[in-house]
Amino acid sequence: MQVPSRGQPNWDQALNAVLVELDQDITGHEVLADAHGLRSWADSRFARQPASLDAFLADSEFWIAHRGSGGEFPEHTMAAYSGVTAAGARAIEVSVQTTADGVPVCMHDATLDRTTNATGPVASYTYAQLRETVQVTVGSGLLGPGWTPQPIPTLREVLDRFWGKVVIFLEPKSNASVPLVQDLITTHYPDSARSIVWKGYYLSNSFAWARSNGFRTWGYVDAATTDAQMDAVDANIDMWGVPVAMTDARMAAVVARGKPVICWEVHRTVDYQRLNSLGVRGMMAAQWIYLNQTLALTSAPSVAEIAPPGTLGVARYDPVYAPKFDGAGGLYVNVGPNQSLLMGGHRAPADSGYRISWRMKWPVLPTSTLHSGIAFCRQTDDVYQFSNANDDDGDFSSPGGYHVVMRAGGDMQLYSHVKGSTTGTQLGTVTTDAPVADTYMTFETDVTPTQVILRRTDVGPYAVTADNTTYRGRYWHLSTGSVATAAQLPHFEITDVELLP
């Protein structure tokens, strides 16, 4: 069998298929008369050494794949766990619910409504019913229709695959799951405390059991949890968990308690920069690949209709603002006005000296003064919204950038914008041929050390050149601009992001 290259389409799913085939091959050898072909014989003599939690926590900072990197893969599926660990993740988060017949399965929510093709509580289904009729479909709405439905894995399947290979932050989400998970890991996975962290809400009464059985614990708090409330349970908590929405002052106070602090969930570089400045050591990342690998994506994101790492709407884990695909090569966001998509995985290869080649159309033309375009030359990957102050990340927000205003009447304009201001400064304008409904316009945006140049090349060509060096940066966004009507929202194609000759 051949292990797939990570560059090929659907590499994560192909890798998972190879791993499943490998497991089947190993199991098949157990029918051999020769005891040396038995998995039990090999396990008894060549027991795997669990991944070292001590070594993991010894690093000055450490990264955990939140829900298996649920912003890049269908959350809590074997495809997610396989994909992110193949990409290099040393730790994954695993949440557990329990079926009506007592089988622990990997699922965050108590109900199936958000992430699957079914509805109702997980606990109302037998395992056989889940396996036969229910699949995880959250990928198609959040990550793109190229994701096929995925089966819900049992905890046993996940531990069989990943125990001893990576650190696992394990959380029984329901009361019924707690004793089942406790029994499973202590009975069937010896010395699990070396690589499993017992995770839960800080008021959980299961932490005492975990500590008495040698497990390290991670207790997560609310944004408003007080010091007194934390003091009451501190003896059973080894690491604290804080939400990204917690204030800086409160987060700094939790860090000052002296135990390692892990924040969830981390989606953007700007999140990491803020958390790192506050002394947070652990990053529970929903975009693990985007934040941990040097990406140089050049292929169009619509090729496989799967959102590449770092293609982010303005809201976290929200399919309403997630990238959509039109089935004909186009990418869009299905809400407006003033919405955007970060093209983080397609960020420019340098702060200047690059070209973004892109196409845009309106399926139905808006009125002549309405506009859409891109924002670019931003220093970090914070949220950008046209006509907003774009300063939600304070000192870590991009100081500003440039944006293209392509109006439906044909005017093509280049603006600069500065953090804290809801209006921009026009740097240049040219009247081009009037756009045609449902017909792509083609653009090149060049950033040199001394100039910013915008061209429309499907007609003309037309160009706007600004001798401006105020902003230079690698991050850029697709922007709906002022268009609000759903049928008129712009569709984009990304042709290339490259260094200038």
Concatenate the DSSP letters of all residues of 201-235 into one string. ETT-TTHHHHHHTT-EEEEE--TT--HHHHHTTGG
* Containing structural domain, residue 226: 48-291
Phi-psi label, residue 310: left if phi above 0, alpha if psi -120 to 50, beta otherwise: left
Q: What is the pLDDT of residue 36?
A: 37
Chain mean position to CA 28:
37
Q: What is the pLDDT of residue 297?
A: 66
Q: Tell me whether residue 118 is in a domain.
A: yes
| Dihedral sign for Cα atoms in the order 427, 433, 434, 435 | negative
Rounded Cα distance between 83 and 85, Å, is 6
Q: Do residues 82 and 206 both lie within one domain?
A: yes
Residues 6+ apart with CB under 8 A from 160: 23
Q: Do residues 72 and 20 both lie within one domain?
A: no
Q: Do residues 211 and 318 both lie within one domain?
A: no
Q: Which of 428, 469, 420, 480 minimizes the C-alpha distance to 447? A: 469
Tally the domains of the chain: 3
Q: Which two tokens stand for residue 178?
A: 């707690």
Residue with the two structure tokens 């955007």: 340
SS3 of residue 267 by DSSP: coil
Q: What is the pLDDT of residue 23?
A: 41
Q: Do residues 268 and 333 both lie within one domain?
A: no
Q: Tell me whether residue 59 is in a domain.
A: yes
Q: Tell me whether residue 5 is in a domain.
A: no
Q: Do residues 330 and 447 both lie within one domain?
A: yes
Q: Do residues 407 and 424 both lie within one domain?
A: yes
Q: Do residues 115 and 15 both lie within one domain?
A: no
Q: Do residues 41 and 91 both lie within one domain?
A: no
Residue with the two structure tokens 């907003």: 388
Q: Do residues 226 and 90 both lie within one domain?
A: yes
Q: What is the pLDDT of residue 35?
A: 39
Burial tier of 250 (Cβ tally within 10 Å: 0-12, 13-18, 19+) = middle
Q: Tell me whether residue 1 is in a domain.
A: no
Q: Do residues 379 and 365 both lie within one domain?
A: yes
C-alpha distance from residue 136 to each of 74, 77, 131, 335, 479 (Å): 7, 8, 11, 25, 30
User: Cβ(338)–Cβ(382) under 8 Å?
Assistant: no
Q: Tell me whether residue 438 is in a domain.
A: yes
CA end-to-end span of the chain:
41
Rounded Cα distance between 123 and 176, Å, is 9
CATH number of the domain that residue 217 is part of? 3.20.20.190
User: Cβ(189)–Cβ(163) under 8 Å?
Assistant: yes
User: Cβ(261)–Cβ(282) under 8 Å?
Assistant: yes
Peptide bond before residue 145 is cis, with ω within 30 degrees of 0: no
Q: What is the pLDDT of residue 454?
A: 99
Q: Do residues 120 and 28 both lie within one domain?
A: no
Rounded Cα distance between 444 and 457, Å, is 7
Q: Which residues pair with 78 in a beta bridge?
A: none
Q: What is the pLDDT of residue 139?
A: 85
Residue ending a domain, choose from 291, 307, 336: 291
Q: Tell me whether residue 2 is in a domain.
A: no
Residues 6+ apart with CB under 8 A from 464: 412, 413, 414, 427, 428, 429, 430, 453, 454
Q: Tell me whether residue 231 is in a domain.
A: yes
Per-residue pLDDT tens listing for the chain (501 residues): 444 443 444 444 454 454 445 444 433 333 333 333 444 433 443 345 558 999 999 999 999 999 999 999 999 999 999 999 999 999 999 999 999 999 999 999 999 999 999 999 999 999 999 999 999 999 889 999 999 999 999 999 999 999 999 999 999 999 999 999 999 999 999 899 999 999 999 999 999 999 999 999 999 999 999 999 999 999 999 999 999 999 999 999 999 999 999 999 999 999 999 999 999 999 999 999 999 987 766 666 666 799 999 999 999 889 999 999 999 999 999 999 999 999 999 999 999 999 999 999 999 999 999 999 999 999 999 999 999 999 999 999 999 999 999 999 999 999 999 999 999 999 999 999 999 999 999 999 999 999 999 999 999 999 999 999 999 999 999 999 999 999 999 999 999 999 998
Q: Which two tokens stand for residue 5?
A: 């290259």
Residues 6+ apart with CB under 8 A from 265: 66, 71, 244, 284, 285, 286, 316, 317
C-alpha distance from residue 135 to each of 110, 112, 144, 152, 225 (Å): 15, 9, 16, 6, 36
Amino acid of residue 89: A
Residue ending a domain, choose from 245, 263, 291: 291
Residue ending a domain, choose from 291, 320, 345: 291
Q: Do residues 364 and 452 both lie within one domain?
A: yes
C-alpha distance from residue 370 to each of 31, 238, 336, 480 (Å): 70, 54, 12, 10
CATH number of the domain that residue 413 is part of? 2.60.120.560
Q: What are phi and psi of 199, to 5 degrees?
A: -115, 145
Q: Which of 227, 226, 261, 219 minimizes the C-alpha distance to 244? A: 261
Largest Cα–Cα distance of the chain, in whole Å? 81
User: Cβ(471)–Cβ(327) under 8 Å?
Assistant: no
Q: Tell me whether residue 3 is in a domain.
A: no
